[in-house]
Chains A and B, each alone.
Chain A
Amino acid sequence: MILEAMEVSQRYAVELRGVWVKYGSKTILRDINHVFEAESSTAILGQNGAGKTTILRTIVGVVHPSAGWVKVFGLEAGGVDAKRLIGYLPERPGVYERLTAIQNMLFHAELNGLDRSEALSRSRALLEAFGLARVANDRVHTFSKGMKQRLALARTLLADPPLLLLDEPTSGLDPDGASLTVSLLREKLEGGSTLIVCTHNPYFARRICRDALIIDEGCIRSMGDLESLVFERKVRVKLLRPVEVGTLSVLLGNGFTAPVNLGETGVVSEFEVAVKGGEEIAGMVERMVKAGLRVVGVEPVESLPKQDGGEPA
């Protein structure tokens, strides 16, 4: 039944149509309409309380919309069949602290219908992959925050689900753990999984996601290619002779921002300009040359998030 449904709507991993979510009298999501295509990777970005987590919870079915509907590979979200297709990592790891790591894994494996031997072999393999093999028989309350997060990530991948919903997956992870997570998630994406990640960290998002969805006050503010939506691409331009900032502002428009350490003279020979792509760079150079400026170099600068983004993971 699941496979049949998946064949019918293989194009869409998740469909949200007119979704409103309320907690009591508080409205969290307002008329969300969005489709996550199968085998895509999307980062949901937004400030605290924007509704990112609620979107994931609605897709999993642990929160029911007050209006609208959600489908997962064509199945009604929240149903047992739809849940079988999802690997969900909540905001908090949600691991059983009184149990050992392997007991945690086996519990979830059995709930996902894996037989005992398969559950055991997959659990051991994932604990090994996340660097937890040596503590597999230790109780989780002895684990650090990062180790709990690794265990939760391992649990999420247990049943090899085609859809992964991850809420702040790098929370509490050290750089090694984050890199490990990135490489395992990339492997899953190459294998045809669909990935939806809620994060505050655009640097982490760009390592695994192609698309972005920006949420603000429960509404979708923008969506599209993550790189162009979230990051500002800049180039550094070097001129043979200094030129007045005012002239550059007129020539280059909004992309140009005057250097912070501009001297009293008001002239610069090296500056940065925000650009969207190669064509824009060519046009910009052409305009400067036509205006009589001698351009001696144009080199890319590391792109930065357009809004608050945090440190690179």
Chain B
Amino acid sequence: MRRKILTIASKDIREYLSSRTLVVSLVALPLLISVTIPFFIKTVLLNVPTNLSPQVTRFLPPVLRQALLTMGPRQALYWYMFTVVTLPMFLLLPITSVIVLASDSFAGEKERRTLETLLAEPVSPTTLFLGKTLAPSSVALCVTWVSATVYWALASHYARSVGVSVTPNLVWLTAMLVVVPAITFANVGLVAWISSFSKGFKEAQQLSGILILPIASITIVSATGNLAPSVTLDYAVSLIYLTIFLLLSTLWPKLAKPNRLIQ
């Protein structure tokens, strides 16, 4: 079973890599987030005053107010922007990659008339589902982790210029190593599910767009300062998404009847 899952996944990855358009769309957003955002933060924070009046401080998010107790306003803002505000954006990254890739998993095969051949192979529905989810998951994880590494290299470089050292804290590490895989697998499962019942790649992609909403909401709430990322939140989000994935991988083989798949 493991060998067949890997065979299906490596075939899909080979197909992704052979499409220049797909590779460009996979690289564009991560590049934008990991390179442009640190540069943008650095540029915006250039003119931050060295002292903040108590009236201004009163309206700042609690995490930032706490940081201001141990460092200057510019340093605290650098730390806050690089460590707290940007984190949810990296949770959006795997979802966008997944939507591009996983919507192709079944709907693409259907569109290119290869699904019937694949369904005729001696492969169980569970193996097929896992093989089809492994390829987009591994690519999305790699893309996210590489982007985060580039982001942190630039962020720590820019932060050092104002005399503050920023490194990924426990919340970040948990997010990258636990939340990102959970979100990735669950969303791949959801998109593959949608894809298996869609008539074509575009329909699957449009329907899958809705999956961005939960994490986009977290990003917005977090940016307003009303939700501070924490390890507990990381685990809670992971648990929800892992449950979704487990449910999908159990239910899909039972519900995905071939008659519906090849129509």
The chain A residues found within 8 Å of chain B, CB to CB, are 21, 23-24, 57, 60-64, 78, 80-81, 83-84, 86, 88, 90, 92-99, 103, 107-108, 110-113, 139, 152, 155
Contact = CB atoms under 8 A, between A and B. Distances in A.
Given A96-B15, A99-B14, A139-B18, A60 B112 contact: no
Given A94-B114, A110-B4, A62 B11 contact: no
A80 B19 contact: no
Contact of B120 (A60, A64, A97, A113): A60
Nearest to A107: B11
Given A99-B11, A99-B14, A111-B8, 19 more contacts: A24-B263, A57-B116, A61-B258, A62-B116, A62-B119, A62-B120, A62-B261, A63-B259, A78-B258, A80-B123, A83-B123, A88-B120, A94-B116, A97-B112, A98-B19, A107-B11, A111-B123, A113-B122, A155-B117
A24 to B, nearest CB: 8
B250 interface: no
Contact of B122 (A94, A98, A112, A139): A112
Interface string B120-147: 1111100000000000000000000000
B121 A83 contact: yes
B258 A96 contact: no
Interface of B: 3-4, 7-8, 11, 14-15, 18-19, 112-124, 257-259, 261-263
A139 B15 CA distance: 11
Given A96-B114, A98-B19, A139-B18, A86 B259 contact: no
Contacts of B14: 98-99, 103
Contacts of B7: 107, 110-111
Contacts of A94: 113-118
Nearest to A103: B14
A108 B4 CA distance: 10
A62 B262 contact: yes
A111 B116 contact: no
A196 to B, nearest CB: 14
A297 B113 CA distance: 55
B116 A98 contact: no
A23 B263 contact: yes
Nearest to A161: B122
A62 B258 contact: yes
Contacts of B18: 98-99, 139
Contact of A63 (B112, B115, B124, B258): B258
A80 B124 contact: yes
B15 A99 contact: yes
B205 to A, nearest CB: 18
Contacts of B119: 60-62
A92 B258 contact: no
B104 to A, nearest CB: 11
Contact of A108 (B115, B121, B261): B121
B4 A111 contact: yes
Contacts of A88: 117, 120
A63 to B, nearest CB: 5
10 closest cross-chain pairs (CB), A and B: A94-B117, A83-B122, A98-B18, A88-B120, A84-B122, A92-B113, A110-B7, A111-B121, A62-B119, A60-B120
- Max chain B CB contacts within 10 Å: which of A63, A84, A155? A63
Contact of A23 (B112, B115, B259): B259
A157 B6 CA distance: 23
A197 B254 CA distance: 31
A139 B20 CA distance: 14
A269 B197 CA distance: 67
A96 B11 contact: yes
A86 B15 contact: no
B116 to A, nearest CB: 5
- Max chain A CB contacts within 10 Å: which of B8, B113, B119? B119
Contacts of A86: 120
Contacts of B122: 80-81, 83-84, 111-113
Contacts of A103: 11, 14
A23 B263 CA distance: 8
A175 B121 CA distance: 29
Contacts of B258: 61-64, 78
Nearest to B22: A98
A82 B262 CA distance: 19
- Max chain B CB contacts within 10 Å: which of A57, A64, A98, A103? A98
Contacts of B11: 96, 99, 103, 107
Nearest to A152: B117
Contacts of B117: 88, 90, 94-95, 108, 152, 155
Contacts of B121: 83, 108, 111-112
26 contacts: A21-B259, A60-B119, A61-B119, A62-B116, A62-B119, A62-B120, A63-B259, A63-B262, A83-B122, A86-B120, A90-B116, A90-B117, A90-B120, A92-B116, A95-B114, A95-B117, A96-B114, A97-B112, A98-B15, A99-B18, A103-B11, A103-B14, A108-B117, A110-B7, A111-B7, A112-B122
